[in-house]
Structure formats: structure tokens, C-alpha cells
Amino acid sequence: MERTLSRIQDFMKLEASAGLVLMGVALLAMLAANTPLSVFYDTFLNTNIRFGVSSFEISKPALLWINDGLMAIFFFLVGLEIKREVLMGELSSFDKAALPILAAVGGMAVPGLVFVAFNWGTPENLSGWAIPTATDIAFALGILALLGKRVPMALKVFLLAVAIIDDLAAIVIIAVFYTSELSANALTLSMLGFALAVALNRMGVQRSAPYIIIGVFMWVFVLKSGVHATLAGVLVALTIPLKEKHGDKALLYKLEHALHPWVAFLILPMFAFANAGVSLAGLSLADLTQPLTIGIAAGLFLGKQAGVLAATWIGVKSGVARLPVGVTWQHIYGVACLTGVGFTMSLFIGSLAFGADETMNAVRLGVIAGSVLSGLLGFTVLRAATQRSAVAQSSTT
């Protein structure tokens, strides 16, 4: 139990630091997109990079190598975290998982409905319904870290569990709703790679190299199949052994520990830098009030907090779940607000839903507006809750 708690604490410290880095990188991207540096910024994102032999090649601009390639590593790490939590962590039993599952479901359903309500009259926007359903755990924990040690550990674990379930749902959404025309041959080859990785797991192979080679093979053919390439990372992660062998630490823990700093401080910041550059040139009130922008911002800011809080309240009052020890309803409301910080995950889903630059600018505006408002309100509510707890403790001593 102590070992598990120590891993959670280490994870949260890393994620909180990464969230603060992401905030800085997002501001840097905004600066680059709205100054004379924009020429270099656009050139970097549109530089074509090609890998391949003869007619078999992958040729993409740098932006898509980041979104399809580097983000596959991020989703590989997400897959490792999901597997660990489901088999041995906070989602390993119904008693532990009931409250965050309910919260996550409410936090995905209501924002999607809010988005659809604002965009019902513009059918071309409806493919973006999933954008406000996402939560950026690094950003959310980064904001939580600003409150220091006064935040109950149980509340941090609750937020982490909600975000992990949220990520799992995002994976399903991407696979089901954002897959283009399928190539049966490429998909078959990728599944053969997956079967081979499963066989390695069953044989107890604890070396990372075979899984990495198979993972690269699967990524190439998942990309060619029409399914989003990042899902290859999740599939490979599910085959990584979690059992220890000969007293040595399991390969899953080794890979998770090795990858986490790279993902937190390189891959996600690169994604944020590449996708958060909103051009404010010629921006008008009409741009801020168009259905796509408002739908995303309202979904994140209003839909997320309403969905998480309502689902949690129903779960507790019905007896299906209970509040963690030391956590109040004010704490829950603060965390519900923080789940509206979508940022990287919302931008990622937005890049899948829409391709046009003009449309993506509206997406970025909505994501940033909704995330900033959610973060500010969440911080304010939780700060008040922690101050009240501190006063209550001092009065009893």
C-alpha cells in the first residue's frame, strides 16, 4: 500500500510540474503566432518530413509528425497507466472505481450535449462534439499544485482517477468516431503485430526492445489503415507485462518510469507549442461568439463542472459510491471545475475533427477560453475550501 501511495505521489509531483511547463509553452506559442516570429512558427509546422523506401513512404508536415507520431508515445504511456490502474490501482475494484467512473461519465456526456445544443443549427460543426469532453491531467494537477499540501491526498487521487477514465473514453471515441476509410490489408498486418506482442507477453518476455520494434511496425500499419495512428501506442501498452519476474521490477513499471519525464517535459510541450498558437490578427467579437467557439468553451466551462458534480452527487446520494475521507462537496466542485481544463487532449481531438486552419483557430479559441475559465474558477473554489479546512483544524487544536 505504501509503495502504491509513493508511486501516486511521485506521479502527481511530475504531472504538476509538467502542467506548469505546459502553461509556459502555451503562452510561448501564442507569442510566436502573433509576432514577427509567426513566419518561423508557420515554417516549422509546415516543413515536410519524409521517411520511407521507394514507393513505401510516410510524408507529413512537422505538425502531423508531432500529432500522429510523438502523441503515439503519449498514448502508449496512457495505456500503461490505464492497465496498471485497472489491474492493481485505483480502478481495480468497484468500491474504488465507482465514484470516479460516475464523475467521468457525467463529465463527458454533459459537455457533449452542451456543444451540440450550441451547434445544432450548424451541422458542419457537429463532428467536434467530443472536443469539450476531454481533461488535461497535467494542467489540472499543475493548478492543484499551486495550492500546496493543504489539498487532501484523496482529492488528488480522485482527480487522477477521473482523468485516467477520461483518457480511456477518449481512446474509444477516437477509434469509433474519428477513423477514416479503412484499409483491410494494413489493419490485418497491424493486428498480426498485436498478436505477436501478446505472445511475447504470454511467454514472459521482459525486455523492451521486442515490444518497441513491434510497436513501430504496428504504428506504421495502423497509420496506413485509416485508424488514427496513436491507437497503436495504446494497443502495444496493453501487452506490456505487469508481473514481476525473478524479483525484478515489472517491465510496465520500468517503461512508465522511463517515459514519464520525456512525455511530460518534451512530447506534451511540443504538442502544446505546435497546436496552441492562436492567431489573434483581425479577431472580432463575431469570432468569439460563433457557435463552434462558444460550444467548446461552454462545454468545458459549464458542461464539465455540471456533469461531474451532478453525477457525483447522484452516486453518493443513491449509495452507489461515497466521498473519499477528508473530501467535502466544495472540494468536489473545485475538482469538477478543474476537469474543464481540456487543453492538450481537447486540442488533439479538435485536430482530428477539423482540418481547416480557419476552423482550427476557432477550436483553439474555444479550448483556451474554456480551459482558462475552468482553471481560474477551480483554483478559486479549492483555495477557499482549503482555507476553510485550515481554519476548522486550527479551531479544534
- List, for residues 86-99, the tens digit of each pLDDT value: 888 777 778 778 99
For residues 37-59, average pLDDT: 81
- Average pLDDT estimate for 15-20: 68
Consecutive H or E run containing 64: helix 62-64
pLDDT exceeds cutoff 70 at 5: no
Q: What is the pLDDT of residue 396?
A: 52
User: pLDDT tens for residues 121-172?
Assistant: 999 999 999 999 988 877 787 787 777 777 788 888 888 888 888 888 888 8
The residue with greater pLDDT, 151 or 337, is 337
Residue 54 CA: distances (Å) to CA of 51, 57, 59, 217: 10, 7, 12, 17
Is the confidence at residue 397, as pLDDT, over 80?
no
Separation of alpha carbons 311 and 155, rounded Å: 16
282: left (phi over 0), alpha (psi -120 to 50) or beta: left
**What pLDDT is stored for residue 240 in this prediction?**
94
Beta-carbon contacts of 223 under 8 Å, excluding residues fewer than 6 positions away, are: 58, 68, 229, 232
pLDDT in tens, 305-325: 999 999 999 999 999 988 888
- 2-390 CATH fold: Na+/H+ antiporter like fold (1.20.1530)
> Which has the higher per-residue pLDDT, 121 or 390?
121
Q: What is the DSSP string of 231-258?
A: HHHHHHHHTS--S-BTTBPPHHHHHHHH
Q: Which of 97-111, 138-152, 217-231 has the highest mean pLDDT?
A: 97-111
Q: Which of 185-189, 241-245, 302-306 has the highest mean pLDDT?
A: 302-306
Most confident range, picked from 79-83, 163-167, 241-245, 295-299: 295-299
Residue 15 has pLDDT above 70, yes or no: no
6 pLDDT band (50/70/90 cuts)? low
242-265 per-position pLDDT tens digit: 887 777 788 999 999 899 889 888
| The predicted structure's pLDDT at residue 337 | 95
**What is the largest distance, in Å, between two alpha-carbon atoms of the chain?**
76
pTM: 0.81
User: What's the pLDDT score for residue 278?
Assistant: 74
Asked whether residue 235 carries a pLDDT value surpassing 80, the answer given is yes
Burial (CB < 10 A; 0-12, 13-18, 19+), residue 259, is: middle
pLDDT, residue 265, reads 87
Q: What is the pLDDT, as a whole number, of residue 310?
A: 96
Instruction: Check pLDDT > 80 for residue 357.
Output: no
- 349 with 173: CB under 8 angstroms? yes
Percentage with pLDDT > 90 across the chain: 36
pLDDT (average), residues 96-120: 94
Residue 104 has a pLDDT of: 93
Length of the chain: 397
Number of C-beta neighbours around residue 207 at 10 A: 9
% of residues, the chain, pLDDT over 70? 90
Confidence (pLDDT) at 125: 92
Query: Regarding predicted confidence, which is higher, 88 or 191?
Result: 191
pLDDT number for residue 298: 97
